[in-house]
Chain A
């Protein structure tokens, strides 16, 4: 094997290995990948949190409510702590840096206070599902619980689930003021644009505090 003692021969061998790898890679990626669909609601459901549920706020004498610490959506198996989120420098909503937690936008009312509390979570990461993977399977009447720092729990009922193209996002409807205690759960959905690395739509779940 005197041939391989020559550096040039090693270069040739390396080149051939690279050609083989490239060809294999090319051949192995010539098929489409099907979307991973979320299982039906109820699969992997969690129990509702125990303990008393506080009553919705009255319009007179608004009281300060404690900040939210965790979110439970029994029907779709969501149980997560809530991190706090602000705005990015371009004015858009910050999103959690991991896909396993959801976050509450601190510029929105606290869940259970009058107004729309905004909670955001990822639908997926590069490899698999995120905390809000099954958010779009929720429907009217489904229960959403938010636990707060003082140990109280507020319960919301889903009123509707909407899908909006991101370039037609109805900011006023989603983030706008309300006269009662509401919740907005936001994640991504619709078509994934692999050239930009973003989904084209947002899923928004509207919920109102039950009382």
Chain B
């Protein structure tokens, strides 16, 4: 009965290894090798948490697909295109060994044509990784904006767009849903107890934004993240981009040539008739 023991030990070892690498529930779901690509970006939005190294693992692969070193508070990576499927994100203290136990990890299922933000949120004591399903598409002619409050100093902020409150109460460590605004250049303000951050941003029609309220050196700061952009006015359907000069084709229609022959015949016959008639006339008047 040695065999099962060995197997059990091996399983425990494997589970420990998986845990160590920040791959939760390694054996639980072995599905989804979905096709297509999605996008993922990584962010550090926890004000009192020191810089971290962020790792992205494709499910079942202990070699990190992306490693971002020394990611400090307020940093948001660009979107990375990844194969649709399951991933895990692990955060380790900056400079910690890649094989050390992560401080925090979370799993993300990336669907084709979807974009995700994975952000370290909250205070250091309650640090968590939040996975956000980001929106790419706007209603026609509109822009979308949502708010993340990442300010520890101002636990509640109000965000206004052109003087109008779009998110009246944004609590620390939370993300609002997207709000539709008309496309254009807007004065955006984050208003907190300790002060106000005001910026002018271009929010063109067809673009999606995330406004992040951060603790700056001198009070609140407002950062504009561009989540996605599309054509303000997308074209309809296909494009007519060829005339066939290099295309293969069968024999052209014989009709024009047949018509030409018919016209020639008609002409010849007309001429022939006139010739006969004038010939006869000539005979008659010739003498």
Q: Which residues of A contact B (CB under 8 A)?
A: 6-23, 25-26, 29-36, 56-62, 64, 87, 90-93, 95, 99, 105, 107-109, 113-116, 118, 120-130, 132-133, 159, 164, 166-167, 169, 171, 173, 175-180, 186-189, 191-192, 194, 197-199, 202, 208, 211
Contacts and interface: CB of A to CB of B under 8 A. Distances in A.
A58 B78 contact: yes
Interface residues of B, number: 70
A18 B267 contact: yes
A-B pairs with the 4 shortest C-beta distances? A15-B268, A177-B230, A11-B271, A18-B264
Contact of A176 (B207, B234, B252, B269): B234
Given A25-B260, A180-B79, A180-B81, A192 B247 contact: yes
A115 B207 CA distance: 9
Contacts of A7: 274
B137 A177 contact: yes
Given A120-B241, A177-B228, A22 B261 contact: yes
A115 B228 CA distance: 6
A92 B238 contact: yes
Interface in B178-234: 202, 206-208, 223-234
A99 to B, nearest CB: 8
B270 interface: yes
Chain B residues touching A, majority SS:
mixed
B248 A35 contact: yes
B245 A124 contact: yes
B246 A123 contact: yes
Contact of B235 (A18, A21, A91): A91
A194 B244 contact: yes
A7 B208 CA distance: 79
A30 B81 contact: no
Interface of B: 37, 39, 41, 76-81, 113, 115, 134, 136-138, 202, 206-208, 223-252, 254, 256-272, 274-275, 278
20 contacts: A8-B274, A9-B271, A10-B271, A11-B268, A13-B271, A18-B264, A19-B265, A22-B259, A26-B257, A60-B76, A61-B224, A92-B240, A95-B239, A115-B229, A129-B245, A176-B234, A177-B137, A179-B79, A179-B136, A194-B249
B224 A60 contact: yes
Given A14-B271, A118-B231, A177 B208 contact: yes
A62 to B, nearest CB: 4
